[in-house]
Structure 1
Amino acid sequence: MQETTSPSPTLRLPVGLAFFCFVLIGTNDGVNGVLLPSLNAFYAVGYAVLGLLFFVSSFGYFLSAISSGFLTQRLGLRGILLLGATAFLIGILPFGLKVPFVLLFPARLVFGLSVGLLETGLNIYITTRPRSTLILNYLHAFYGVGALIGPATATIILALQWGWNSVYLLLGGVDLLLLIGFGIFARPIQSARLEEKASTTENVLSVTLKLPVVWLITFFLLVYVGIEVSLGNWAYSFLLGSRHIAPFLAGWIVTGYWSGLTVGRFLLQNIAERLGLGTKGLIYLCICLVGVSLALIWLIPLEFIAIIALFLIGFGLGPIYPLTIDITPKLVPAHLGASAIGVLVSVSIIGLAVFPWLAGVLAQFVGIWTLLPYSLILTLVMLVLWRVLVVAASDSSKL
């Protein structure tokens, strides 16, 4: 169970900046789906080519996250956050300025780097704070808030006929405020230190990758991301094609899934602390809730079951990612915590790409109904990996 002491007042503003940053990242992800048709119409390149932009962005994210241990040693957390916010601005402005399409590829690479730096840096920062488990849940919940705000913001701007690029200019302006905030108020972030320092000659990443516990946590998170994104991407198609639910209602049911994810991150850790439930027990409970809810939708083809169960799936999935990030520095030597978090965050990108693709292959060649048994099998794999991790951890009381 985590400490019950609250952060001192001098730390509240930096934590608020972290929340603000995750709202911005979530908002950016949320606007993409709404703006894709406008981008396609303006550049006339086709969705297949547009999709390459996301591949480039993911590659940039991977590079930044995997090198976070090295960058943390060289720049410190304040330097990483300032670099990330600056790169965000550099990566998003070309979209706002409607530059030639070929220039969007390096811009998107820089943008992916920026998001990886910001997410990894802030995850590392929060893990050093009192009551880190609770705050990490809030941090990732604010990403969900941004993801819900994004589509509405883009839709309103398009309806006002301000131009699709105005959305990116708005995001760039908000990021500029964030950059100024980090520049002025990031002193407490800079003072956040892990308990031990590595030798400057040590290859931190190499040492981290040799730890079996890091690979266990990484594979666990990889599968988690696969479940979350596969359901998020394909649930709408499942509700239409397998349950024959009206498009409008199906859209709201999927919104309920993402809302459940956000609400779960805000509420479940608080409830667990009040009940004296530790991270180990909470993750077991969350995985079981996801599995039971998936089975309900699969076996009982009723609309109200889909509405309730998809919300509960999101609710159960919500805390798992931040809880996993939080326990990582506790299971490795202190000076390797930043590098371990970087490995987790970067490899999760693979799960984001591979598992939804496999779900799509099954949907095309077998049927969209396969989404639920597919997700249920992944949930069982996640449960097994969590059990192995609990047994293998040298000090499972930290879970």
Structure 2
Amino acid sequence: MVSHLNTNENSGNARIRMLTYLMFFMFAMTSDAVGVIIPELITTFDLSMSQASAFHYMPMLFIALSGLFLGFLADKLGRKTTILIGLLLFAAASFMFALGESFYYFLFLLALVGIAIGVFKTGALGLIGDISASSKQHSSTMNTVEGFFGVGAMVGPAIVSYLLVTGVSWKYLYFGAGVFCLVLCWLAYRAPYPQIKRTSTQEINLASTFRMMKNPYALGYSLAIGLYVATEVAIYVWMPTLLLNYEGNLVLVATYALTIFFTLRAIGRFLGGWILNRFSWQQVMFWFSLAISLCYLGAMLYGISAAVILLPLSGLFMSMIYPTLNSKGISCFPVEQHGSVAGVILFFTALSAALGPLLMGFVGDMFGHVKYGFYLATGFAFLLCFMAAYNLLRDPSGHLLTANVE
């Protein structure tokens, strides 16, 4: 009888994991296709680059706000209800792209998309904690989740490129995402969700999220993730500009540098679970963040000819940083607080994704070349490495991760 119950539980958890993987795939498919859509918007609406860049910043800003102000819903309403609300809002916003032709109308819809992503992502992140038996399994699942995100990041731009080449509007990407989202809603509704066992009588509301903002462990992991995100986003926002005028022997590599970066990042994330099962996560974070820092430093010291190789290569080392830090930051807290802490971390993640490229652009404009913005990103990478070194030597959150295994 016990064996039968365990089999049913494992089967249900497998379905939930696959549902979570598909949600992150869909999220990446739309969000990372923005870079391909922006040139089309500039032509259609006669926009400046600053105006068109709002297509990137708008959803990121509202993902941040949604994570901060609505992250507690995953703990208060439950994972299932929260995920369904987020997915339905995402589907509605996606279908509404077909109803208008105004740039500002699209920005409004992207704000709705950002809110929806913040809601269902915090629900999904909390759910991963519910079905993870240990901190190590949590990290392994998060790496697989981000692997699917990496695949979506490649599929989305490819779909938009194909649509534009064949003369079809980019808006059909969102129509397809809306249909996919309705399928996910049905799967989420039918999936069995584990019950959250509360160990605290503390009321769950927006105030509890703001209390979480004062927690040194939540803030420490959020800072580390913010530094990582600023380092990563530098690649896919500004690397194409950095390599634009490259005329050396590796022109083909420069042309597909971003695709190589995304491919290496996705491969590394699928390998994440295997690596983390063989080495301590503290060691992996330090050595991989050091490798990222050296890739950036080499690119800055030896110029564009080195950047063509080293910047895409950094994707392999970036692969496990975000999902592992995210997992450990959430695992520091009891299961019934996972939605709130995921919302806090998501706030800093999305805020960094929006502000990092903006600061790089500002520095690049100030000194007259985009490479100066990469000097700033190199600084972000080394700060992350210093934090990873401190974590390796002192392991400040080790007692919390051990205490919240059960």
Say whether residues 1:263 and 2:264 are aligned partners.
no
- 2:128–2:141 CA contact under 8 A, matched in 1: yes
- 1:30–1:149 CA contact under 8 A, matched in 2: no
Pairing of 1:14-163 with structure 2 (within 5 A): 14-43=16-45, 47-130=49-132, 131-163=137-169
Amino acid at match of 1:378: F
- 2:87–2:181 CA contact under 8 A, matched in 1: yes
Amino acid at match of 1:233: V
RMSD over aligned Cα atoms: 2.8
TM-score normalised by length of structure 2: 0.86
**Structure 1 308/332 Cα, relative in aligned 2: closer, same or farther at 3 Å?**
same
Aligned partner of residue 240 in structure 1, secondary structure = coil
What is the total number of aligned residue pairs between the two structures?
Answer: 389
Instruction: Report the Cα offset of residue 271 of structure 1.
Output: 2.2
In the other structure, the counterpart of 1:370 is 372
Decide which moves more: 386-395 or 65-74: 386-395
Pairing of 1:126-275 with structure 2 (within 5 A): 126-130=128-132, 131-185=137-191, 187-188=192-193, 191-193=194-196, 196-200=199-203, 203-241=207-245, 249-273=253-277, 275=278
Q: In structure 2, what is the Cα distance between the partners aligned to 1:393 and 1:65? A: 25
Structure 1 residue runs of 5 or longer lacking an equivalent are: none
TM-score normalised by length of structure 1: 0.87
- 1:296–1:309 CA contact under 8 A, matched in 2: yes
Q: In structure 2, what is the Cα distance between the partners aligned to 1:49 and 1:15? A: 38
Aligned partner of residue 193 in structure 1, secondary structure = coil
Identical residues among aligned pairs (%): 19
- 2:129–2:331 CA contact under 8 A, matched in 1: no
**Structure 1 243/286 Cα, relative in aligned 2: closer, same or farther at 3 Å?**
farther
- 1:65–1:346 CA contact under 8 A, matched in 2: yes
Aligned partner of residue 244 in structure 2, secondary structure = helix
In the other structure, the counterpart of 2:14 is 12
- 1:359–1:371 CA contact under 8 A, matched in 2: yes
Q: In structure 2, what is the Cα distance between the partners aligned to 1:161 and 1:394? A: 53
**Structure 1 81/23 Cα, relative in aligned 2: closer, same or farther at 3 Å?**
same
Decide which moves more: 385-394 or 168-177: 385-394
Amino acid at match of 2:259: T
Instruction: Report the Cα offset of residue 109 of structure 1.
Output: 1.9
**Structure 1 242/216 Cα, relative in aligned 2: closer, same or farther at 3 Å?**
farther
**Structure 1 95/69 Cα, relative in aligned 2: closer, same or farther at 3 Å?**
closer
Instruction: Report the Cα offset of residue 83 of structure 1.
Output: 0.6
Say whether residues 1:356 and 2:357 are aligned partners.
yes
Amino acid at match of 2:255: G
Q: In structure 2, what is the Cα distance between the partners aligned to 1:194 and 1:352? A: 34
Decide which moves more: 88-97 or 193-202: 193-202
Q: In structure 1, what is the Cα distance between the partners aligned to 2:251 and 2:118? A: 34
Q: In structure 2, what is the Cα distance between the partners aligned to 1:128 and 1:387? A: 30
In the other structure, the counterpart of 1:347 is 348
- 1:236–1:254 CA contact under 8 A, matched in 2: yes
- 1:123–1:325 CA contact under 8 A, matched in 2: no
Instruction: Report the Cα offset of residue 166 of structure 1.
Output: 2.2
Amino acid at match of 1:381: L
Structure 2 residue runs of 5 or longer lacking an equivalent are: 1-5
CA-to-aligned-CA distance 1:90-119 (integer Å, 9 cap, x gap): 212221233544433432221111111122
